[in-house]
């Protein structure tokens, strides 16, 4: 008889608890999804910056530009053979 007396209230409590759990999980899913969207937005902006900076760097560091600057501004040239020095690392 125990089951009949306590069964009903227990069932009601369980149903209520699961209702609340559903509300909670739906809410947190929404919150997480909002977070995800925000993070994706940030990711997008960061990627924009990253690619732009990469492109900028490779433009500034292009061998063509470096060669031109070295030649024209810094008056550099390829050393002739007499100026070659080979540095050898020796293990003592």
What distance in Å separates the CA atoms of residue 85 and residue 19, rounded to the nearest whole number? 81
The values of phi and psi at residue 20, to 5°, are -60, -40
Distances (CA, A) of 28 to 1, 19, 23, 38, 70: 41, 14, 9, 15, 59
Q: Which of 2, 4, 74, 88 lies at the binding interface for another protein (CB under 8 A)?
A: 88
Piece of the chain touching another protein by CB under 8 A; list 1-9, 16-24, 31-39, 68-76: 31-39
Given a contact cutoff of 8 angstroms between Cβ atoms, the answer to whether 73 and 66 are in contact is no
Is 25 near another protein (CB under 8 A)? no
Piece of the chain touching another protein by CB under 8 A; list 2-10, 12-20, 58-66, 68-76: 58-66
Please report, as ranges, the residues that interact with another protein according to CB under 8 A.
Answer: 33, 36-37, 44, 47-48, 51-52, 54-55, 58-59, 61-64, 78, 80-81, 84-90
């Amino acid at each position: 008889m125990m089951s009949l007396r306590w069964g009903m209230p227990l069932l009601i409590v369980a149903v209520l608890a699961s209702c609340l759990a559903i509300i909670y999980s739906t809410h947190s899913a929404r919150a997480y999804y909002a977070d995800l969207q925000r993070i994706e937005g940030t990711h997008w902006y960061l990627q924009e910056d990253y690619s732009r900076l990469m492109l900028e760097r490779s433009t500034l560091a292009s061998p063509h530009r470096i060669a031109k600057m070295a030649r024209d501004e810094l008056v550099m040239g390829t050393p002739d053979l007499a100026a070659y020095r080979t540095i050898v690392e020796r293990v003592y």
